[in-house]
Amino acid sequence: MADAEETEGKPKTKSAMLIMGAGLLALTVLGAGGGWFVGTMIAPNVKSAEQAEAAAETVSAGGEEKPEGEGGLPHISTEANNVVQLEPITSNLAYPSENWIRLEVALLFNGPPDVKVAEDIHQDILAYIRTVSLQQIEGPRGFQYLKDDIQERVDLRSQGRVSKVMFRTFVIE
């Protein structure tokens, strides 16, 4: 009687394993097909973006071809678009002094960029960051206050020559 129960259990486990394997294979094929379908829907958008980027690079270069060694995206900070990216600002906070902040900022000038004004603004932002405590810049509202304070300081320092301060990175450690 015990032998009959053992022989009855083995075919059931083999058929269960076969059904599970078939189900897994069906899900794999379905997932691969769905991935291929979504990929073909998105791929034309990626190709058109690459073509638009290539066209923009030739226009910004004055119609001249770029050397083969150069590649990648054009840098946003150029005199042509009146944007100056400041050097990264790294400093410790006023309280707690163990916390560090790293801030990368770009300035959008109304006219041609002025390097002297940009350096003065960089030093002014650095001096201000050293007076800020962690509690002042916590959360989205604190970050907005920090952005507003820095924009106000830049407006005062540049006397209206800088129209916008763009935050590139903001890290607190």
Residue 53 lies in a domain: no
For the residues of 2-18, what is the DSSP string, one character each?
Answer: HHHHHHHHHHHHHHHHH
Amino acid 135: pLDDT:
93
The reported pTM is: 0.55
d(C-alpha 13, C-alpha 77), whole Å: 66
Same-domain check for residues 39 and 90: no
Would you say residue 95 has pLDDT above 70?
yes
Query: Token pair of 89, please?
Result: 């600002």
Query: Coil, helix or strand for 168?
Result: strand
d(C-alpha 95, C-alpha 138), whole Å: 12
Structural domain boundaries, residue 36: 14-43
CATH of the domain at 123: 3.30.479.30
**Structural domains of the chain, count:** 2
pLDDT tens, 156-169? Answer: 999 989 999 999 99
pLDDT tens, 25-74? Answer: 999 999 998 888 887 777 666 555 566 666 656 555 554 444 444 444 45
Q: Comparing C-alpha atoms, which of 88, 124, 129, 132 is closest to residue 106?
A: 88
